[in-house]
Amino acid sequence: MTTTPPARTCLQSAALTLVLLSGCLTPVVEGPPFDAGATTDAGIITDAGVSADAGVSADAGSTTDAGALDAGDFDAGQPAVDGGCSVDGWCGVSGIPLRVTHVSTVDGVAVFVTGNDGPSATPNEVVGRYANGQWNELARFPFDPNGSVELRSLMATSPNEAVVLGWFGFSGNRLFRVAGDVNGAPTATTWLPDPPAFRARTLGGSTNDLWLVGETGVNHQGGVFIAHFDGTAWRSTWNPVTTFFGLTGGLEAVSGPSTDLWASGYHDLMHFDGNTWTTRPMPAGIYGPHTLAAGGTLCLVGEDTSRWMPPAPGPSKLLSTPDGLTWTDWPLPTNSTLVALGASGATNVYAAGWDGAMVHFDGQSWVSQQSGVIGVIEELQVSPSVAWALVSDGGLLRRGP
């Protein structure tokens, strides 16, 4: 059954990313709530997410064994089916019938994923949950040539619930919550109030404490924009004058708890302490950093500008700081470009990226691990005992008991 999201009254055209930040140098007061178009509790979607007015359809409980990744002998772009393991214990995950695009978990056991299962030219967008070898589909958006859907960010808020940020063509940015029972079977999917009109990139926080960050333009040609959802309404919290040759390029990443949140872009670094946003100077020598906040420490990884190798991506620089002011430059055991960070605490941090590069930090030093793949590792999710990695071909790796 094909359905459409509730209509909204304004057309979205700028950039957006969901972020958790803390501590700024310049205080900012939240503005008034946005009139973001249709903000009704539009369609609590029951029976596996099917609703005539809420725009989500779901074929719940699909358990097709497809899309597995061979972690021992991987040819980028060609998922295999035997789910092998590397010498360091990174194993291909079988049983998820999607080309996965995002992954998120809170306990390391149950992971939520977004992905697609149709031909590359006409993909169907899907949200599901995988735990202990069991796959459950929670929501499905069939391909529509008149209004493309792209699920852009995913955040698990409990082992049984996640929030998804998507781009719904002319309807713009939309957010919805998916939920399952203790066995993962879908129970309900609910549309959240519409966010402000700017291009979405990522999301963070919790169901009733969401942060969105991005830019006021498109293609990294606009200023920083931050918005907050308190469970009732969206409010603008930051929309400063652009500072980098008239452009900042917006924000790309968000990480940390609600009282110690960090956000970063190509040129901007910002912090939120639970009350106030402040800007922090971006450290020198790093370009396009990705951020991660864990255990009271902020990590940045990006290209090392002293070793750029254009046009190809160059070796990475990895920095850490307790406050955004004093930085430690860590030597890395790889020359690959790193694009993903994940951690369960300051003594269990992973970084990964091009050529299947994977490094781990135990609180003292960074050590290489064999991921078993040669594609780009794009996302990491880490708990104290289990780590997950998303590879560019849409396959998943898992390391742990």
What is the distance between the alpha carbons of residues 286 and 248, in angstroms, rounded to a whole number? Answer: 15
More confident residue, 232 or 205: 232
Backbone φ and ψ for 132, nearest 5 degrees, come out as 55, 40
Q: What's the confidence (pLDDT) of residue 240? A: 53
The answer to whether 263 and 254 are in contact (CB under 8 A) is: yes
pTM of the model: 0.78
What is the distance between the alpha carbons of residues 207 and 78, in angstroms, rounded to a whole number? Answer: 36
Confidence class of residue 219 from pLDDT cuts 50, 70 and 90? Answer: low
Rounded to 10 degrees, what is the CA torsion of 180, 183, 184, 185? -70
Q: What's the confidence (pLDDT) of residue 172? A: 80
Taking residues 294-307, what's their average pLDDT? 84
pLDDT of residue 77 exceeding 90: no
What is the distance between the alpha carbons of residues 55 and 285, in angstroms, rounded to a whole number? Answer: 45
| CB-count exposure of residue 397 (10 Å: 0-12, 13-18, 19+) | buried
Taking residues 396-400, what's their average pLDDT? 96
Q: Which two three-digit tokens encode residue 299? A: 């990590």
What is the distance between the alpha carbons of residues 307 and 334, in angstroms, rounded to a whole number? Answer: 13
Q: What's the confidence (pLDDT) of residue 233? A: 86
- In this prediction, what percent of the chain has a pLDDT beyond 90? 35
Confidence class of residue 19 from pLDDT cuts 50, 70 and 90? Answer: very low
pLDDT of residue 38 exceeding 90: no
Q: Which two three-digit tokens encode residue 55? A: 């725009």
Taking residues 332-348, what's their average pLDDT? 91
